[in-house]
Amino acid sequence: MKKDFVIANDQGVHARPATMLVKRANRFKSTITLTHEDQTVDLKSIMGLMSLGIRRGSLITIETKGEDEIEAMEALSRSITEFNLQ
């Protein structure tokens, strides 16, 4: 399943929220990727995520595939919503 998000946090996806997203993604068995500006990385990799340089206003797409894909998407959606409100 795929879902788009707009990053509203003033600081974009910096180290703290990136670490939180990666930790949350690693709780699931599904394959989880994040796409930003035609670059796709494994969301279970902090180096991959940080390499994207995601800033405020950026559109990202998260895709989950696997046995717990629905739960993974719900958890990541909550994390991004919380992060955007900070």
The C-alpha atoms of residue 64 and residue 5 are separated, in whole angstroms, by: 14
Of the residues 1, 2, 6, 14, only one is catalytic, namely: 14
What is the tally of structural domains in the chain?
1
How much is the mean pLDDT over the chain? 96
The per-residue pLDDT for range 15-44, each reduced to its tens digit, is 999 999 999 999 999 999 999 999 999 999
**Active site includes 36?**
no
Between 66 and 85, the more confident residue is: 66
Prediction pTM value:
0.93
Q: Where are the strands (E) in 1-86, listed by range?
A: 2-6, 31-36, 39-42, 59-65
24: CATH: 3.30.1340.10
Domain with 21, as residue range(s), is 2-84
Q: Which parts of 26-61 fold into alpha helices (H)?
A: 46-50
Is the distance from CB of 76 to CB of 24 less than 8 angstroms? yes
The C-alpha atoms of residue 50 and residue 41 are separated, in whole angstroms, by: 10
How confident is the model at residue 54, as a pLDDT?
A: 97
86 pLDDT more than 80: no
